Amino acid sequence: MTSQYRGRFAPSPTGRLHRGSLVAAMGSWLDARAHDGVWLVRIEDVDPPRDIPGAAEDILRVLARLELTSDEPVVWQSTRDAAYEKALGTLREKGLLYGCACTRKEILARDAELGLPPGVYPGTCRNGTGGRPARALRFRLPDRTLGFTDRLCGHFEQNLPLEAGDVVMKRADGLWAYQLACIVDDVESGVTDVVRGADLLDNTPRQIALIEALGGRVPRYMHLPLVLNDRKEKLSKQQGAVPLDETNLPGELEFAWTHLGFPRLGADSIAAFWRAAVPLWRERFAKDPDHG
């Protein structure tokens, strides 16, 4: 049977690959292979102030050393303006896009007044900016609770207006927002399965709402346990997490694998590691008939 499965790894080039990114790369790749599916790599280079020159090439180089290469040409978000513009047009036509004049400070002040979690957009400009110039463009989320079942984390739901708030699509600095670029590309690439770090679990309900608004198919989700540093913080490329030790990539693979809850494989090469890991992943995560 030909599998329809399409998965992806979507790093932002804000720094070098670290142990947390390897967990996401490994989980998404193994899940694609275990389902006889396609694995795509997408470079999320939409944030020039945060992107580091050369980081994307370095990420692809290290992935290649790990024998992880995209099954289709790598998608670079910096080349995809037309697609994002078109998606804005779709949202606009449906009345789901509006200009927002609020500064971050104003949003936080209003959140405090209303008792909303800091940063949740309180809807101030939903019915117009009152003559103030629009700074950002926001997607109007449906006024409801939206839930989904994560393959690892189980049922997860959010009251969208109270816990997410209308999402920025185009930022005040004119750049595309991660949420828009990520969803437009997942939809256009026909991604059926998103496997990524658990830090994005609470972004998922608003992303599903956006997929639905754009007429896309909602994928299955699997959010993987985060790798934390000594101070119990999530590793982040931007905050200079220690890059993978390229003198010991088999050791790094074992680290990511045991972090995902499997016993050490003790493989003597990278290729042997992957050969041993795929059937074990399949046994644990790829047994349902829809995705066999």
241 binds ligand GLU (CB under 6 A): no
Q: Look at strands 167-170 and 193-197 and give their pairing.
A: unpaired
Cβ 182 to ligand GLU, closest distance in Å? 5
Selected binder of ligand GLU within 5, 39, 44, 204 (CB under 6 A) = 44
Number of CB atoms found within 10 A of residue 78's CB: 16
Selected binder of ligand GLU within 172, 200, 270, 280 (CB under 6 A) = 200
11 binds ligand GLU (CB under 6 A): yes
Cβ 117 to ligand GLU, closest distance in Å? 21
Cβ 279 to ligand GLU, closest distance in Å? 25
Indicate left, alpha or beta for 20 from its phi (over 0: left) and psi (-120 to 50: alpha). Answer: alpha
Cα 4 from Cα 24, distance rounded (Å):
21
Cβ 37 to ligand GLU, closest distance in Å? 16
Find the binding residues for ligand GLU in span 170-189 (CB under 6 A): 182
Question: Under rule CB under 6 A, how many of the chain's residues touch ligand GLU?
Answer: 7
Residue found by looking up tokens 């390229």 in the block: 246
Q: Binding pattern to ligand GLU, positions 110-149, x when CB under 6 A?
A: ----------------------------------------
Per DSSP, the residues of 147-195 read EEEETTTEEEEEEIIIII-SEEEE-TTSPBPHHHHHHHHHHHTT--EEE
Cβ 231 to ligand GLU, closest distance in Å? 19
Q: Look at strands 154-159 and 193-197 and give their pairing.
A: unpaired
198 binds ligand GLU (CB under 6 A): no
166 binds ligand GLU (CB under 6 A): no
Per DSSP, the residues of 16-42 read --BHHHHHHHHHHHHHHHHTT-EEEEE
Selected binder of ligand GLU within 5, 6, 7, 10 (CB under 6 A) = 10
Nearer to ligand GLU, 7 or 122 (CB): 7
Nearer to ligand GLU, 81 or 143 (CB): 81
223 binds ligand GLU (CB under 6 A): no
Residues 138 and 169: beta-carbon distance below 8 Å: yes
Cβ 194 to ligand GLU, closest distance in Å? 6
Cβ 2 to ligand GLU, closest distance in Å? 25
Specify the stretch interacting with ligand GLU by CB under 6 A; choose among 4-12, 31-39, 128-136, 227-235: 4-12
Name the residue among 251, 177, 233, 264 with its Cα closest to residue 20: 233
Cα 31 to its chain centre, rounded Å, is: 16
196 binds ligand GLU (CB under 6 A): yes
Cα 227 from Cα 215, distance rounded (Å):
34
- The most distant pair of C-alpha atoms in the chain lies apart, rounded to whole Å, by 66
Selected binder of ligand GLU within 5, 12, 146, 201 (CB under 6 A) = 12
Q: Which residues bind ligand GLU (CB under 6 A)?
A: 10-12, 44, 182, 196, 200
